[in-house]
Amino acid sequence: MSDTHAATPVAIADRGAVRVITVDRPDKLNALNAATLDALHQAFDAAAADDAVRCVVLTGSGSRAFVAGADISEMNTLTPVQGRDFSLRGQRLMRRIEKMPKPVVAMINGFALGGGLELAMGCHLRIAADSAKLGQPEVNLGLIPGFGGTQRLLRLAGRAATLELCLVGTPVDAARARELGIVNRVVPAADLETETMKLANQLAESAPLALRGVLDCVNVGGECAIEEGLEYETAQFGLMFSTDDMREGTGAFLERRKPAFAGR
């Protein structure tokens, strides 16, 4: 593993074609302040631009928290205008992650509350330790979710679950989060890193342009009428036939060998 971590609230390390981005504020349970949001945005910009990176894993430092929420000590002093700006800063980051051209897997190793759950929901896939707790407890602080929580939770878990989580504010365990569709997989805490990296490596070996096509189609389709989504899918499907990866993938299938995708 090559480690490019500097003295920032975010640590970055490459494991082959998988880039691991870690929110590194364990003394604050990895809470998101403005500096951390900006550092994460820069980290995802860099991962998107690096052709050697084919998949990103996002996690939190230590075993207690993925991200326990936004930094309350910072929020406590904000004016209404500053609060709105803080919300926009967080929403821009979540949208940046959501629109990444490469798969992003959230490795949820502990508390994912408030801004932490919003951060996880911005990722494409979520794997949680069985000990993780997830929720939107902002109402207990006299707040509402501000980084897209009401909107992404609604799309993942539906209206009833969203209202319960956001109105009551009580976190759920990982098993319940899986039942609600908030996380994709739940694994024993001791196996979390192994299972997450197994999935990330599988994604990193897949055809990059095809993965990007799937991500684009789902992003577009989630925000338009089905007719428009189907039209977009057809266009993307046709484009795949111009790629070397499509010839390699179909050829490898016919020749009963493992494909070697080059991303072109």
State pLDDT tens for residues 210-237.
Answer: 999 999 999 999 889 999 999 999 999 9
What type of residue is 223?
E
Average pLDDT over residues 170-198: 97
Cα separation, 210 vs 208, whole angstroms = 5
228 is catalytic: no
Q: Given 138, 179, 205, 223, which residue is catalytic?
A: 138
pTM: 0.93
Within 8 A by CB and 6+ apart from 135, the residues are 112, 113, 114, 117, 165, 169, 170, 171, 172
pLDDT tens string 30-86: 999 999 999 999 999 999 999 999 999 999 999 899 999 999 999 999 999 999 999
Domains present along the chain, CATH in parentheses: 2-204 (3.90.226.10), 208-254 (1.10.12)
195 is catalytic: no
Q: Given 74, 98, 118, 179, which residue is catalytic?
A: 118
In sign, the C-alpha dihedral spanning 110, 116, 117, 123 is negative
Cα separation, 173 vs 216, whole angstroms = 31
